[in-house]
Amino acid sequence: MVSIIKRKVLDGVYWIEIPEVDLRILCGCPADSIKHCATKGLLKIVKEDGIEYESGPNAMLLSDDLIQNGSLSNVSEFVAYHMFYTQGMIIPTHPSFKKPNPLMIGKKDQVDAQMEYIFYGNYGLTREKEFLDCGESVSFAKENIAMKLRFAQNNFTHTRDLIDPVYLNRKKVELRNGVFVRRIKHNVFDFTYKNKSVQVNLNLRKYRHYQPTFVLPQRTIPDDYFSVTHTGEGDGWNPHKPSLSSIIRFDGRFFLIDAGPYIKKILKAVGLTPDQLSGIFITHVHDDHFAGLFNLIRENNRLTIHATPVIRATLQKKFSSLLSVSEEEVGRYFNFSDLKRDVWNQRYGMEVKPLPTAHPVDTTIFIFRVKGKERYYSYGHYSDIAALSWLKTMIVDKKGEIGISRKYYETIKSDFEIVLDLKKIDVGGPAIHGDAEDFAADRTGKLVLGHSHLPFTERQLAIGDEVNFGHVDTLIKKKP
Binding site for Zn ion (CB under 5 A): 286, 288, 384
Walk across the sheet containing 164-167 and list its strands: 5-10, 13-18, 23-27, 59-61, 103-106, 164-167
**In the complex, least distance from residue 64 CB atom to Zn ion, rounded to whole angstroms:** 29
Q: Which is nearer to Zn ion, 286 or 424 (CB)?
A: 286
Say how many C-beta atoms besides its own lie within 10 A of residue 362's C-beta: 29
Q: Which is nearer to Zn ion, 241 or 286 (CB)?
A: 286
Q: Which is nearer to Zn ion, 233 or 473 (CB)?
A: 233
Q: Which is nearer to Zn ion, 136 or 233 (CB)?
A: 233
Q: Which long-range contacts (CB under 8 A, 24 or more apart) does 426-429 make?
A: 426/244, 426/382, 426/383, 426/384, 426/385, 426/450, 426/451, 427/451, 427/452, 427/456, 427/460, 427/464, 428/235, 428/384, 428/452, 428/453, 429/387
| Burial profile 243-273: b = 16 or more Cβ within 10 angstroms, e = fewer | bbbbbbbbeeebbbbbbbbbbbbbbebbebe
Q: Which is nearer to Zn ion, 121 or 274 (CB)?
A: 121
Within 8 A by CB and 6+ apart from 47, the residues are: none
CA angle 63, 258, 111 (to 5 degrees): 20
What is the C-alpha radius of gyration for the chain, rounded to an integer number of angstroms?
22
What is the amino acid identity at position 162?
A: L
**In the complex, least distance from residue 425 CB atom to Zn ion, rounded to whole angstroms:** 12
CA angle 451, 350, 331 (to 5 degrees): 70
**In the complex, least distance from residue 182 CB atom to Zn ion, rounded to whole angstroms:** 37
**In the complex, least distance from residue 344 CB atom to Zn ion, rounded to whole angstroms:** 25
Contact 16, 191 (CB under 8 A): yes
Kind plus residue range of the DSSP H or E element containing 119: helix 108-123
C-alpha distances in angstroms, 66 versus 13, 106, 107, 170, 189?
14, 11, 10, 19, 16
Q: Is the preceding peptide bond at 38 cis, omega within 30 degrees of 0?
A: no
**In the complex, least distance from residue 45 CB atom to Zn ion, rounded to whole angstroms:** 23
- Among candidates 416, 340, 408, which has minimal Cα distance to 142? 408
Cα–Cα distance, 62 to 209 (Å, whole number): 17
**In the complex, least distance from residue 426 CB atom to Zn ion, rounded to whole angstroms:** 7
**In the complex, least distance from residue 236 CB atom to Zn ion, rounded to whole angstroms:** 6
Contact 326, 319 (CB under 8 A): no
Q: Which is nearer to Zn ion, 288 or 438 (CB)?
A: 288
Q: Which is nearer to Zn ion, 68 or 122 (CB)?
A: 122
Cα–Cα distance, 82 to 43 (Å, whole number): 10
- List the beta bridge partners of residue 10: 13
**In the complex, least distance from residue 35 CB atom to Zn ion, rounded to whole angstroms:** 13
Q: Which is nearer to Zn ion, 286 or 318 (CB)?
A: 286
CA 43 to chain centre: 19
**In the complex, least distance from residue 288 CB atom to Zn ion, rounded to whole angstroms:** 4
Kind plus residue range of the DSSP H or E element containing 207: none
Q: Which is nearer to Zn ion, 302 or 453 (CB)?
A: 453
**In the complex, least distance from residue 260 CB atom to Zn ion, rounded to whole angstroms:** 8
What is the amino acid identity at position 60?
A: M
**In the complex, least distance from residue 244 CB atom to Zn ion, rounded to whole angstroms:** 6
- Among candidates 441, 432, 433, which has minimal Cα distance to 462? 441
**In the complex, least distance from residue 357 CB atom to Zn ion, rounded to whole angstroms:** 10
Q: Which is nearer to Zn ion, 226 or 290 (CB)?
A: 290
Q: Which is nearer to Zn ion, 384 or 442 (CB)?
A: 384
Q: Which is nearer to Zn ion, 106 or 464 (CB)?
A: 464
